[in-house]
Amino acid sequence: MKAKLKIDDMVRDLNLNIIFKGDVESIDIDTSDLNRPGLQMAGFFEYFAVNRLQLFGMVEMNYLQNLDPIIKQERLDQFFASKVPCVLIGRNLTPPPEMVEAAKKHNTPILMSGLTTTKLSHRTTIYLDRVLAPSISRHAGLMDVYGVGIMLMGDSGVGKSETALELVKRSHRLVADDVVEIIKLSDNQLVGQSPEVIRHMMEIRGLGIIDVRTLYGVGAVLVEKSIELAVNLELGDPMNIDRLGLYQEFITLLGVKVPIITIPVRPGRNLAIIIEVAAMNFRLKSMGHITAEQLDNKLLSIIAPDSTKNS
């Protein structure tokens, strides 16, 4: 996946300093891999990964300092002429004047960090993985209930926000209300968060918009949470519900299968308590304890001797 990454956003998020920016507002990135250009500084430009962010550490900078000035200028000019997207420098190492001149000539940003090269590489890779991750938005809510990320789904007006508010009152944590931005971080991991403009806010019919963090404290909210279970709230008495829990249904989000359960919404039902039990039951199932299967096995053990006698 290709993404446009704003230089100012990267500087803010990675706590970088700008050595040179020019008139570049954003860069095109299609991989989270970084390139250490030691070979290029030595003059080997075949198989040069020009599409990656270029990371200079202690080794590359010391090698540059010891190069003949003419050779140094030629290699840096060839390096920046390749149109690399951006240069990162670790350990707050001062770039040689030839590097800054070549960057200005080819309008390539140079950014600096006080982190060691290894830590800067690790942090930047994680950051780019998130920037490049596939994402979608869904009309839903997201709660952390007993450590389980539960996405609340259902038609508008079914009571998702009121249920989420009751869960907050019961010391669980709100991640998103009404809109969930879902990011695929790996083949089987989805992370949900709220759009920044409505983060920690909730719409309650009759009250309007409330700020959950202000009302209930910072312990009542989370910025993001892994999505492990989906709960569909449905009015009335939905058909084809597995009343025993022997069969597991799934929804697919960004190619990842997420378990889903349907809870009927009727007057007098305490949905918050039911969702709490759903979270605890999900954790039990993940540890191999499936109550419905145990009951099924007990019934079969009772029935089996009778069937043997009748035969």
CB 251 within 8 A of CB 225: no
Tell me 221's DSSP state.
B
Residue tagged active-site, from 13, 77, 129, 178: 178
Residue tagged active-site, from 2, 205, 243, 309: 243
213 is catalytic: no
State the Cα angle at 117 between 55 and 190, rounded to 5°. Answer: 80
At 266, the amino acid letter reads R
Residue tagged active-site, from 4, 122, 139, 269: 139
4 is catalytic: no
Residues 6+ apart with CB under 8 A from 206: none
Structure tokens at 50: 């020009």
Tell me 115's DSSP state.
S
CB 32 within 8 A of CB 50: no
Other Cβ atoms within 10 Å of 62 Cβ, number = 10
Query: For the stretch 155-188, what's the b/e string if a residue is b when 16 or more beta carbons lie within 10 angstroms of its beta carbon?
Result: eeebbbbebbbbbbeeebbbbbbbbbbbbbeeee
Residue tagged active-site, from 75, 138, 160, 172: 160
d(CA 144, CA 142): 7
Structure tokens at 39: 């070979």
Nearest to 103 by CA among 124, 90, 84: 84
CA distances from 160 to 88, 221, 257, 301, 310 (A): 45, 16, 22, 41, 52
72 is catalytic: no
d(CA 171, CA 163): 13
Q: What residues are annotated to the active site? A: 139, 160, 178, 243
